[in-house]
Structure 1
Amino acid sequence: MEELLNHHMFATHAIAAAGSVALGTALTHPLDSLKTLIQVGSGSSQQLVAAQVLDRVRSVSGSFGLYSGLGWSIFGRISGLGVRFGIYELLTAFYKDGRNEDYVHVSEALLAGIAAGALEALVSTPFEFCKLRAQVASASHLPTSSTVKEILGTSPIMSKLQRGYAPDTKAWENTVGLLSTLSNKNSKIVGALKEYPWMMTGSGRTPFIYEVKGPLNIISLEGWHALWRGLRAGIVRDCIFGGVFFSSWQFLHIAMLDWKAIDMDPQPSSAEEIGPVSPLAASIAAGFSGSIAAAASHGFDTAKSRSQCIVMPKYISMERRLLRWKPPGFWLERVAGISPSDRNILFRGISLRMARCGLASFTIVGSYFLALDHLL
């Protein structure tokens, strides 16, 4: 009976946690879409604002374009937050082992949050990659289906590169024109050239990002490893976010307990005698901590978003590995995955991300406590 009750309690907490994460993600996804489009659309000489991005999305995809990639975002957030809080609870349980009080220091919360963030980035990066491609496609003009079928009909072998991709036919025709002066002893020379991906993409022109947005298209053109593109910047971002989030939350939790103990008579001798803080106070503390953590880690979030926005076919990646291509920039930029051209735009969209993370953290914690009150 006790084992059945434990399983019931675990299932209840899992359902409440998944539901709260889905609610918080859906509520704040439009802010995330605006933030992402500002990050990938801005340049050193181009300053985008939320109103411009919103008008662009509405003109291309309508108002529902702000919810593009919502499914990927929900799955990624559920898996990522599950890993983040799971690893954090395991590490803090190790810290508290052998102590008389159920207490975690702020420094311990910081270290546990850093470790949890690293594993969270590894799990959630593929979902964020697909989400970003869908968000960018919602603000990009797509070629009509008839145009794609017409181009692919002229060269069926091109369809092997990627489904739905319309190659640069002008560049292809120019290339064939240059080859027309050669000897025609080999009548299959044009067909043989079509077998090479760098010819099918238009003499080296890679496809636009809105042409490579589905997981099957991404894998067929860029390979499996592309799903973890931007992992370096993502690990640094999530380590900073997790460490700042949990340490700030723990600091505020301790401050609220001390404030609550002021009016108690006699004065409590331990945190257990004070009791837990109210769900509303915990939600506000989580929202404030999420905003601070978002501000601290936003530069690496921009670096990750912009790196995932680059379409890199498999043959280019293979050439870089064979040539041992060294990324440009200082050693810190190479380790963290930051492009030198993005130095001046790393903090674009920071206010939107702070609002999104703060509101999402407040909603997730508040709805989680509310769901537990109704389910238990």
Structure 2
Amino acid sequence: MTSPFELIKVRKQVTAASRAPNASAVAETAPVSPMITKLLRRYTLDVKSLTQTVSLLSVLNHKHPNMTAALQEYPWMMTGTGNPPSAMDVKRPLDVASLEGYRALWRNLRSGLIRDCIYGGVFFSTWQFLHEAMVGWKAVGMNPLPSSEEEVGPLSPVAISLAAGISGAVAAAASHSFDTARTRAQCVILPKYTAKERKFLKWNKPGKRLERWTGIHPTDRNLLFRGIGMRMARSSVASTVIVGSYYLAVDLLVPK
């Protein structure tokens, strides 16, 4: 499930993988607005973005017949007043809470819940199917044919572990798109003032109804299955090791 720990982990990974200088590398003599200091510590105001925003707003007529539509046509409304800092500048819990609010720590919770539900359902159903197939395969060579699974006897721990690994890979493939949507949403910085502006202007989320409900952005449609091979391998290895360790511990600790 999506949690503050996953949000902080993802943003620290973005920081480690990014080569761009962060806000701490800016000269200390740069002027910092008190409001920016309150919203985000150690962040230096981008004067160029602020100047561009002011120049865009200055051309608006106060007697405009449709001020809301005119504001939505300006590019600054896509990110708010000025460009927000990057994900590598907002990676601490206090920074996230001060700039984006405490709700941002559980951002895109719905995608995480759907991902975990699909993963759990596919994993256990696939594992049960493989288990019954292995029991049936083992019972084929028995004479007379067993009438129940108890008569077949226990399966090999290695076979059960491999079945768990296959189930983990299948479950990871089925739920990978929602995991990508969750990760992408956690890397987006949405300041509190931007959220208020969108609420004030009644900003509708883009995409189809299913995409809006599951938290998938329409621009990420071609990226939903990126990295699916690595996640399948990770889930397969983790499931195999966990199940194999369980059977190994039972074999060593439980007296026969």
Name the TM tier (shorter chain): 0.7 to 0.9
Give the counterpart letter for 2:113 in structure 1: I
Where does residue 221 of structure 1 map in the other structure? 99
Q: Is the 8 A contact 1:286 1:365 kept in 2?
A: yes
**Is 1:240 the equivalent of 2:118?**
yes
Pair 1:175–1:134, CA change in 2 (3 A): same
Kindly indicate whether the alpha-carbon contact (under 8 Å) linking 1:300 and 1:346 is maintained by their aligned counterparts in 2. Answer: yes
- Alignment check: 8 A CA contact 2:23 2:89 kept: no
- Could you tell me which residue of structure 2 aligns to residue 282 of structure 1? 160
State the distance in 2 between where 1:174 and 1:296 align: 44
Cα deviation, 1:267-323, whole Å, max 9, x if unaligned, reads: 322222323322211110111011111122222222221111110011222333344
Q: CA deviation at 1:355?
A: 1.3
1:147 aligns with 2:19: no
2:39 maps to: 161
**CA contact 1:148–1:164 (8 Å) conserved in 2:** no
What letter matches 1:136 in structure 2? V
Q: What is the distance in 1 between the residues matched to 2:125 and 2:80?
A: 51
More helix, by proportion: 1
- 1:267 matched to which residue of 2? 145
Q: Is the 8 A contact 2:33 2:45 kept in 1?
A: no
Q: Is there any run of 5+ residues in structure 1 with no aligned partner, and where?
A: 1-120, 178-197
Query: In 1, are the aligned partners of 2:22 and 2:88 still within 8 Å (CA)?
Result: no
Whether the aligned pair in 2 keeps the contact of 1:169 and 1:202 (CA below 8 Å) is: no
Tell me what 1:318 maps to: 196
Residues 1:175 and 1:320: Cα distance change in structure 2 (over 3 Å): closer
Q: Percent identity, aligned pairs only? A: 56
Residues in 2 aligned to 1:176 and 1:325: alpha-carbon distance in whole angstroms: 22
User: SS of the counterpart of 2:248?
Assistant: helix
The answer to whether the 8 Å contact 2:7/2:186 transfers is yes
Give the secondary-structure state (helix, strand or coil) at the position aligned to 1:138: helix
Equivalent pairs counted in the alignment come to: 232
Q: Is the 8 A contact 2:23 2:43 kept in 1?
A: no
**Superposition map of 1:169-248 within 5 A:** 169-171=47-49, 203-248=81-126
Q: Per-residue displacement from partner, 1:241-276 (whole Å, max 9, x unpaired)? A: 221111100000111111222233443222223233
What corresponds to 2:136 in structure 1? 258
For residues 201-256 of structure 1, the C-alpha deviation after alignment (integer angstroms, 9 at most, x for no partner) is: 99421110100112221111111111221222222222222211111000001111
Aligned match for 1:340, one of 206, 210, 218: 218
After superposition, where does 1:1-376 map in structure 2 within 5 Å?
121=1, 124-140=2-18, 141-143=20-22, 145=24, 147=26, 149-151=28-30, 154-155=32-33, 158-171=36-49, 203-376=81-254
Equivalent position SS for 1:348: coil
Task: Indicate if the aligned counterparts of 1:287 and 1:362 stay in contact, CA closer than 8 A.
Answer: yes
What are the superposed Cα offsets for residues 87-132 of structure 1, whole Å, 9 maximum, x if unpaired?
A: xxxxxxxxxxxxxxxxxxxxxxxxxxxxxxxxxx3xx433322221
Q: How far off its partner does 1:158 sit?
A: 3.4
Q: Conserved in 2, the CA contact under 8 Å of 1:167 and 1:207? A: no
- Distance in structure 2 (CA, Å) of the matches to 1:370 and 1:150: 61
Q: Could you give the per-residue CA deviations for residues 9-53 of structure 1, whole angstroms, max 9, x where no partner exists?
A: xxxxxxxxxxxxxxxxxxxxxxxxxxxxxxxxxxxxxxxxxxxxx
Could you say what the CA RMSD is over the residues aligned between the two structures, in angstroms?
Answer: 2.8
* Distance in 2 of aligned mates of 1:147 and 1:202: 22
Partners of 2:38 and 2:102 in 1: CA distance: 17
**Normalised TM-score (structure 2):** 0.79
Contact 2:90/2:96, CA 8 A, preserved across alignment? yes
- Structure 2 runs not aligned, ≥5 long: 56-75
- Farther-moved stretch of structure 1 (137-146 vs 233-242): 137-146
Q: Contact 2:4–2:106 (CA<8 Å) still a contact in 1? A: yes
Mapped partners of 1:268, 1:236: distance in 2? 40
